[in-house]
């Protein structure tokens, strides 16, 4: 009888060790998956930060921003193994940057055109500029028509119209 009890205790110990090893391996697999997800989130946040930088830079220096956007697009977003331009969030951010560049160029053209011509020409140019600015806002994707950046764009359009 003692032998029978001893075997039962051994089986219980072996079974508990196996369960412990199995649970440890499952936890390790879950941790690796979380690490991959975290890496993806960190990479996406870095992209968002870079897009934010380019967005606000677009009002300061549109030519340089356009050049930086093209380089960023070719070096980071499109590589041999991935095309991040297929992601909707990235396309929305890219569109926002392109619109900031267009708005800044419209503003620069308006300032240059106001220096020449008579009052009627200035009046027509101002209204053409207002139409151009409003069309820029309408060209944005629907997903981009909310949030802090969109409000910033509306503020810039209102500033140009004044």
- Does residue 82 form part of some domain? yes
Summarised one tens digit per residue, pLDDT across range 26-75 is 555 544 555 777 777 787 888 889 889 998 898 889 899 999 989 988 88
Q: Look at the block and give the residue holding tokens 């050049």.
A: 67
- Does residue 9 form part of some domain? no
- Tell me the β-bridge partners of 78: 83
Q: What token pair was written down for 5? A: 């009890």
Residue 105 and residue 126 in contact, taking contact as beta carbons nearer than 8 Å: no
Instruction: Supply the mean pLDDT for the chain.
Output: 77
pLDDT, residue 82, reads: 78
Count of structural domains, the chain: 1
pTM of the model: 0.67
- Does residue 32 form part of some domain? no
Domain that holds residue 74: 41-161
Residues 6+ away with beta carbon under 8 Å from 25: none
Average pLDDT over residues 127-141: 81
- Does residue 12 form part of some domain? no
- Does residue 112 form part of some domain? yes
CA distance 4 to 12: 13
Nearest to 78 by CA among 69, 54, 106, 125: 69
Summarised one tens digit per residue, pLDDT across range 69-92 is 899 888 888 777 777 777 888 888
Nearest to 143 by CA among 69, 91, 103: 91
């Amino acid at each position: 009888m003692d032998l029978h009890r001893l075997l039962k205790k051994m089986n219980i110990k072996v079974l508990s060790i196996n369960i412990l090893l199995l649970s440890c391996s499952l936890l390790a697999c879950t941790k690796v998956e979380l690490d991959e997800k975290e890496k993806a989130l960190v990479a996406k946040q870095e992209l968002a930060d870079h897009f934010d930088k380019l967005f606000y830079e677009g009002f300061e220096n549109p030519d340089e921003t356009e050049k930086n956007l093209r380089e960023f697009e070719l070096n980071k977003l499109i590589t041999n193994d991935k095309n991040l331009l297929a992601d909707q969030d990235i396309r929305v951010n890219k569109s926002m940057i392109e619109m900031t560049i267009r708005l800044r160029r419209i503003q620069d053209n308006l300032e240059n055109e106001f220096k020449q011509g008579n009052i009627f020409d200035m009046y027509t140019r101002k209204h053409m500029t207002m139409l151009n600015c409003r069309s820029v806002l309408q060209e944005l994707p629907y997903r981009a028509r909310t949030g802090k950046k969109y409000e910033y764009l509306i503020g810039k359009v209102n500033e140009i119209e004044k």
